[in-house]
Amino acid sequence: MDRYLENIEHKAAVLCDALPYIRDFVNKIIVVEYDCGEWLSGVEEKKMIKDIVLLKSIGVIPIVVHRTQMGVDKFRENKRIAKLLELYDTKAIGICGVDIETIQMMIKNDYIPVITPNDIDNEDTPILPEEAAKEIAVSTGAEKVLFLGKEDGIRDDEGHIISQMTRDEVVKMYVAGKFEGRLLQKVTYALQMIEQGVPRVHILGSKMAHALLVEIFSIIGVGTVIMPDKEHYYPHELKKRAAATK
């Protein structure tokens, strides 16, 4: 087969693999903790933004919560990210503070809510975006939360990313003091979310182009997914796993 046609087949295969996940996630809320402005070039950031727009375009409901790097105006950053999303013909709106009612109203009106955890009356209180993401995910019944940033997952002692972990496995590493810095923050809130009913929390690096789409729409993903236990697979995943072990 010539190279061009082979490529088409490969692209179609990617779409076919995505189909069951598209079915799982349409009309579901996916909270994206967006910790990217600091790490990505303009071109890389636009790719990330496009991935979020793609989610929205196929009927997933993304909510973006962002970190603002030190020294940058939170409210301006909020507007900047909403504007970036709007560049790709979607409606996005910046919201200051975690206000669930406003978020729900924006979703109903077809906007992607872009949230900075601080409002004008608590402008200087340190509120972690991970904490805000937890509050939002738990109170909106989100299907999953993705932490996108510099940390590209949880690594084993050899330094390899662990693709999937149960809550108990993460707790073991946590107790053994394996996490520090921002990864520790992410893991801490991931564990809380899982305990409060969020089905899956993912930690993935934002540097790889389209990491978000690959994580959401493939079975293997790119980062680490944390699940409550080994029972929490989607039916199509169970079938694939069974076929792979035959």
For ligand ARG, the binding residues in 157-176 under the rule CB under 6 A are: 163-164
**Residue with nearest beta carbon to ligand ARG:** 221
Q: Which of residues 9-28 bind ligand ARG (CB under 6 A)?
A: 21
Contact 44, 209 (CB under 8 A): yes
Could you say whether residue 62 binds ligand ARG (CB under 6 A)?
no
In the complex, the smallest distance separating the C-beta of residue 211 from ligand ARG, rounded to whole angstroms, is 10
Contacts 24+ apart (CB under 8 A), 25-29: 25/60, 25/143, 25/216, 26/58, 26/59, 26/60, 27/59, 27/60, 27/61, 28/60, 28/61, 28/142, 28/143, 28/144, 29/61, 29/62, 29/63, 29/107, 29/137, 29/140, 29/141, 29/142, 29/143
Q: The tokens of 22 are what?
A: 């598209």
Among 92, 145, 165, 225, which residue interacts with ligand ARG (rule: CB under 6 A)? 225
218 touches ligand ARG by CB under 6 A = yes
With respect to ligand ARG, which residue has the nearer C-beta, 36 or 211?
A: 211
**Closer residue to ligand ARG (CB): 136 or 227:** 227
Which is closer to ligand ARG, CB of 97 or CB of 205? Answer: 205
Give the one residue of 50, 206, 224, 226 binding ligand ARG; rule: CB under 6 A: 224
User: For residue 148, which of 92, 199, 208, 198 has the smallest C-alpha distance?
Assistant: 208
**Which residues of the shown chain bind ligand ARG in the complex (CB under 6 A)?**
21, 163-164, 200, 215-221, 223-225
